[in-house]
Structure 1
Amino acid sequence: MGKKRRRLSKKVRLDYQVAFDQFEKNQQEGIAPARPKGHQYPCPDCCGSGLLPSAAAPIKDTENYPNVAIIGGGIGGVALAVACLHRGIPFTLYERDPNFDARSQGYGLTLQQASKAIEGLGIFTLEEGVVSTRHLVHTTEGKVIGEWGVRKWVPTHAKTSSKRSNIHIARQSLRQVLLEQLGGHDKVRWGHQLTGFKESENGNIDLTFQVEGEIKNASADLIVGADGIRSSVRRLLIGEETAPLRYLGCIVILGICPLNALEGLTSPLLDAATVFQTANGNDRIYIMPYTSDSVMWQLSFPMPEEEAKTLHAQGPEAIKKEACRRTQWHDPIPQILAATQENRISGYPVYDRELLTSDILQKASQATLIGDAAHPMSPFKGQGANQAVLDALALAREISKGCRPLSQWRKAGIRESVLTAFESEMLERSASKVKDSAEAAQFLHSEIVLHEGDEPRGRCLKKKNL
Structure 2
Amino acid sequence: MSLRRLNVAVIGGGIGGLCLAQGLRRAGVPVTVYERDRTADSRLQGFRLNIDPAGSLALHACLPPALWELLVATAGDPGPGISFLDERMRPLVRIGRNDREPDPLDPTTGRHAVSRVTLRRLLLAGLDDVVRFGKECTGFTPTDDGTVTATFADGTTATADVLVAADGAGSRVWAQLHPAAGRATLPATAVAGKLFLTEDTRRWLPQRLLAGMNVFWPPRDFLFTAIFHRREAPASIAARLGDRVRELGLDPDRLLADAHDDDYVLWAFIAHRDSLPADFTPKAQADPAAVRELLARRTAGWHPDLRRLLADSTPDTLYQTEFSAAVPLRPWQTGNVTGLGDAVHHMPPVGGLGGNTALRDAHRLCAALTAADRGDMPLRQALHAYEAEMLRHGFRTVREVVRNTGAAIARSPVRRSASRWFFRACGAVPPLGRAVFGEH
Partner of 1:290: 228
Equivalent position amino acid for 1:135 in 2: I
1:437 aligns with 2:401: yes
Which one of the candidate residues 60, 84, 99 is aligned to 2:24? 84
Distance in 2 of aligned mates of 1:388 and 1:227: 11
1:325 aligns with 2:318: no
Equivalent position amino acid for 1:140 in 2: E
Equivalent position amino acid for 2:342 in 1: D
Distance in 2 of aligned mates of 1:373 and 1:207: 16
Check whether the contact 1:284–1:444 (CA below 8 A) recurs between aligned residues: yes
Which one of the candidate residues 165, 168, 171 is aligned to 1:231? 171
Which one of the candidate residues 62, 74, 78 is aligned to 1:121? 62
Partner of 1:168: 113
1:265 aligns with 2:204: yes
The structure 1 segments of at least 4 consecutive aligned residues displaced by more than 6 Å after TM superposition are 157-163, 305-309
Check whether the contact 1:70–1:93 (CA below 8 A) recurs between aligned residues: yes
Partner of 2:124: 179
Distance in 2 of aligned mates of 1:105 and 1:435: 28
1:144 aligns with 2:91: yes
1:251 aligns with 2:189: yes
**Cα pair distance change 1:314/1:330, threshold 3 Å:** closer
Partner of 2:253: none
Distance apart, 1:84 and its partner CA: 0.6
What are the Cα deviations for residues 138-180 of structure 1, in whole angstroms up to 9, with x where unaligned?
Answer: 2112211122444xx64xx769879746321122222222222
**Cα pair distance change 1:406/1:141, threshold 3 Å:** closer
Distance in 2 of aligned mates of 1:256 and 1:68: 39
Check whether the contact 1:65–1:399 (CA below 8 A) recurs between aligned residues: no
Equivalent runs, 1:52-71 vs 2, <5 Å = 63-71=3-11
Distance in 1 of aligned mates of 2:124 and 2:364: 19
Partner of 1:428: 392
Distance in 2 of aligned mates of 1:312 and 1:423: 41
Distance apart, 1:120 and its partner CA: 0.6
Equivalent position amino acid for 1:190 in 2: F
Equivalent position SS for 1:380? coil
What are the Cα deviations for residues 296-347 of structure 1, in whole angstroms up to 9, with x where unaligned?
Answer: 1111111049979943784152334433432342143222222222221111
Equivalent position amino acid for 1:434 in 2: V
Distance in 2 of aligned mates of 1:95 and 1:190: 5
1:392 aligns with 2:342: no
Partner of 1:133: 80
Equivalent position amino acid for 1:137 in 2: F
Equivalent position SS for 1:89? coil
Distance apart, 1:109 and its partner CA: 1.7
**Greater Rg, structure 1 or structure 2?**
1
Distance in 2 of aligned mates of 1:118 and 1:449: 36
Structure 2 unaligned blocks of 5 or more: 231-262, 411-415
Distance in 2 of aligned mates of 1:63 and 1:165: 38
Identity score, percent: 26
Equivalent position amino acid for 2:75 in 1: G
Distance in 2 of aligned mates of 1:309 and 1:197: 41
Check whether the contact 1:257–1:295 (CA below 8 A) recurs between aligned residues: yes
State how many pairs are aligned.
379
Distance in 2 of aligned mates of 1:406 and 1:266: 56
1:201 aligns with 2:171: no
Equivalent position SS for 1:276? strand
TM-score using structure 1 length: 0.73
Equivalent position SS for 2:266? strand
Distance in 2 of aligned mates of 1:92 and 1:177: 17
What are the Cα deviations for residues 230-289 of structure 1, in whole angstroms up to 9, with x where unaligned?
Answer: 1121112112xx232101211121212211162741421243x32112121421110001
Equivalent position SS for 2:204? coil
TM-score using structure 2 length: 0.77
Equivalent runs, 1:369-408 vs 2, <5 Å = 369-405=339-375
Distance in 2 of aligned mates of 1:325 and 1:208: 50
Distance apart, 1:437 and its partner CA: 0.8
Distance in 2 of aligned mates of 1:287 and 1:160: 24
Check whether the contact 2:102–2:110 (CA below 8 A) recurs between aligned residues: no
**Cα pair distance change 1:305/1:443, threshold 3 Å:** closer
Query: Counting helix residues as a fraction of each chain, which structure ranks higher?
Result: 2
Check whether the contact 1:308–1:348 (CA below 8 A) recurs between aligned residues: no
Check whether the contact 2:190–2:268 (CA below 8 A) recurs between aligned residues: yes
Check whether the contact 1:72–1:225 (CA below 8 A) recurs between aligned residues: yes
Partner of 2:286: 315
**Cα pair distance change 1:88/1:137, threshold 3 Å:** same
**Cα pair distance change 1:72/1:325, threshold 3 Å:** farther
Equivalent runs, 1:94-105 vs 2, <5 Å = 94-103=34-43
Check whether the contact 1:170–1:291 (CA below 8 A) recurs between aligned residues: no
Equivalent position SS for 1:454? helix
Distance in 2 of aligned mates of 1:308 and 1:140: 25
Distance in 2 of aligned mates of 1:401 and 1:197: 25
Distance in 1 of aligned mates of 2:299 and 2:135: 42
Distance in 1 of aligned mates of 2:383 and 2:283: 38
Partner of 1:366: 336
Check whether the contact 2:58–2:359 (CA below 8 A) recurs between aligned residues: yes
